[in-house]
Structure 1
Amino acid sequence: MSAPALSDLSREARDLLQTQSIELPSWAFGNSGTRFRVFTTAGVPRTPFEKIDDVAEVNRLTGVTPRVSLHIPWDRTDDYAALRDHAEEQGVSIGTINSNVFQDEDYKLGSLTNPDERIRAKAIAHHLECIDIMRATGSPALKIWLADGTNYPGQDSIRERQDRLADSLSRVYAALDSDQQLVLEYKFFEPAFYHTDVPDWGTSLVHCQALGERAKVVLDTGHHAPGTNIEFIVAQLLRLGRLGAFDFNSRFYADDDLIVGAADPYQLFRIMNEIVAAGALAPDSGVNFMLDQCHNLEEKIPGEIRSAT
């Protein structure tokens, strides 16, 4: 049985599809791999300018991917104004700026929650740099995901780490412009295995509520325990006006970062059903839809095209 043509859909369904847009991650177009090896693919982009070219190609073919999410320092460049101009010339814009405080040697015991005040200051300074990049590129949001946590009971104080996190986030939030927002992502484990400092939507929500109205929760569909009712979380955060963004991907076990819908297409439908019911598909809803995937087996551009469609 062939798939229905766009003309077979109701007017309401067509209108919904025409309002939806999906942000693409720059890193999905680069080489990636497992924890054992990074696999190389011919023709992957070498610079953030070339990544934008690939995003623009996907948008040209799908018409629904007009923004690119950047990751710092992976996408660091000497001239962010030129990067913004290049994106506009290609018919796309710069979306979310993602910080990275999980690959530096100093962050072995945490970044924004680290017991060492010097290292916390370094992590805060990195986020202030990201805010400067937001101003130069016209990005509306700063996304924070932390690898912070502990592997053993007694390694550090859980309560004190939460206090440090609250203080660090407040310093970052205070530096935002009035038209910028902070979105805080959660993940229930990995690389920390005893406790993670932002392990669930409740912890992220508590910190966002303490920060202010321009702090919201990021939901990554792969960052949940098996059997979690993700659409319930979506509905609750929408009720509270605190769902800021999605990172869409698919999982079989944990943070697999597979093509969205691959493991459970019906879960994707259930999530989108809540989104549509709440009117959150509209461009002015404040909810950003983004893919966060690694294409290790499939080609990068075709993988992103399939995900978007």
Structure 2
Amino acid sequence: MFKHAVITPFLGQTKDRFADYNVPLSLEEKFKLLSSIDGMSGAELIYPYEVNFEILDELKRLLAQYGVHVAAINVNVKAEEEFKSGGLTSPDAPVRARAVQYIKEAKDFAQAIGADKVTCCPLSDGYEFHFQADYVETWNRLLDTFGEAGEYKPEVPLFIEYKPNEVRGRCFLENAAKTIVLIKRMGNENIGVTMDYGHSLYGDNNPAEELSLLHSEGIKTYVHINDNDGKWDWDFFCGSRNLMSYIEFIYYLKKFNYQDWLTSDASPTRVDIAKMFAANVRMSNKISTRIDEIGMSTFEELLKKREYMDVWAALEGNFLKI
């Protein structure tokens, strides 16, 4: 069975451009809520805005009290004023150095709290308009900055999360393939990819195929789960819009013997928080169990069939049962 975690800010108040959803919760209240969700035992924590060295001892106490494990430390390199037009790719060397320092500090914090990874999604590094960026220079800056950050404390791996857009009109790292090229160029086996199911989906890619590409290229992978309509990163709950796609994704996670956390990156705006995250756990585990019941070898044989309608008939009978 999978290990399940949640990005903790989603347990409290969230906002969009027009409204606030749910109520603000303290870190202890979030952990209490997390521990009440059946099957959920991990937390991805945001550094430095949610957790930092000032509350390290208190955080350790709360983690122990509520039996919560740290799945990852998510380092935020976008909210500061200096990072709004890009941190890791900024034309200004001092700004790039500060962005790298944020990641290094997050590694220090991860080590202090006992987390085994840091994840970073460089959302402010991108562009909106033609002739707004020198693509050769920005690529080289990504190589330099992520390279330096990855070489620091290699025992705490750095995972890079790609995304098509937000907060920039187009992010420099928008898909798995480009992120793989970057990592291969850096030549650091301790730099991996945080693959967000929804980012792949609305980026007009197939999550199961991108997962397979990461596996085939030997890239360490950490997974965020959610769903959307293929048009935007809505962070819906798992399987709510693309059930067969999610079934295929779970199959490949099992095929590759994925052992890390499945971390819910989903936003419970108009639904009950605990019930929504419980659904993520339940759906993922039920699909996994059903695949086990059918047998991995059965799916291997299905993939060999040349007539797809025979494949669909098997899926119809085994999963849809209609």
TM-score > 0.5 by shorter chain: yes
| 1:130 aligned residue (92, 103, 106) | 106
Distance 1:301 1:23, change over 3 A: same
Q: Secondary structure at the match of 1:109?
A: coil
Q: State the alpha-carbon separation in 2 of the partners of residues 122 and 236 from structure 1.
A: 32
Q: Secondary structure at the match of 2:40?
A: coil
Distance 1:66 1:109, change over 3 A: same
Instruction: Read off the aligned partner of 2:147 and give its amino acid letter.
Output: S
Determine if contact 1:32/1:296 at 8 Å carries over to the other structure: yes
Alignment-derived partner of residue 25 in structure 2:
45
Q: Secondary structure at the match of 1:290?
A: strand
Q: What are the equivalent positions in structure 2 for 1:1-150 lying under 5 Å apart? A: 17=1, 20-39=2-21, 41-42=22-23, 44-46=24-26, 48-58=27-37, 62=38, 64-77=39-52, 78-147=54-123, 148-150=125-127
Q: Displacement, 1:84?
A: 2.2
Runs of 4+ in 1 over 4 A off after TM superposition: none
Determine if contact 2:164/2:203 at 8 Å carries over to the other structure: no
Give the aligned CA root-mean-square deviation in angstroms: 1.7
Distance 1:226 1:145, change over 3 A: closer
Q: What are the equivalent positions in structure 2 for 1:236-255 lying under 5 Å apart? A: 236-252=213-229, 253-255=231-233
Distance 1:226 1:114, change over 3 A: closer
When you count helix as a share of all residues, which structure comes out higher?
2
Q: Displacement, 1:205?
A: 1.1
Q: State the alpha-carbon separation in 2 of the partners of residues 149 and 249 from structure 1.
A: 24
Normalising by structure 1, report the TM-score.
0.84
Alignment identity in percent?
19
Normalising by structure 2, report the TM-score.
0.81
Q: Displacement, 1:129?
A: 1.6
Alignment-derived partner of residue 261 in structure 1:
239
Q: Displacement, 1:250?
A: 0.7
Aligned positions, number: 277
Q: State the alpha-carbon separation in 2 of the partners of residues 301 and 72 from structure 1.
A: 24
Alignment-derived partner of residue 196 in structure 1:
171
Q: State the alpha-carbon separation in 2 of the partners of residues 208 and 228 from structure 1.
A: 20
Q: State the alpha-carbon separation in 2 of the partners of residues 211 and 96 from structure 1.
A: 23
Instruction: Read off the aligned partner of 1:301 and give its amino acid letter.
Output: A
- Identify unmatched segments of 5+ residues in structure 2: 283-322
Determine if contact 2:86/2:126 at 8 Å carries over to the other structure: yes
Q: Secondary structure at the match of 1:171?
A: helix
Alignment-derived partner of residue 231 in structure 1:
208
Q: State the alpha-carbon separation in 1 of the partners of residues 192 and 203 from structure 2.
A: 24
Q: State the alpha-carbon separation in 2 of the partners of residues 295 and 74 from structure 1.
A: 21
Moved more, 236-245 or 254-263: 236-245
Determine if contact 1:23/1:65 at 8 Å carries over to the other structure: yes
Q: State the alpha-carbon separation in 1 of the partners of residues 40 and 189 from structure 2.
A: 27
Q: Displacement, 1:208?
A: 2.2
- Identify unmatched segments of 5+ residues in structure 1: 1-16
Q: Displacement, 1:26?
A: 0.6
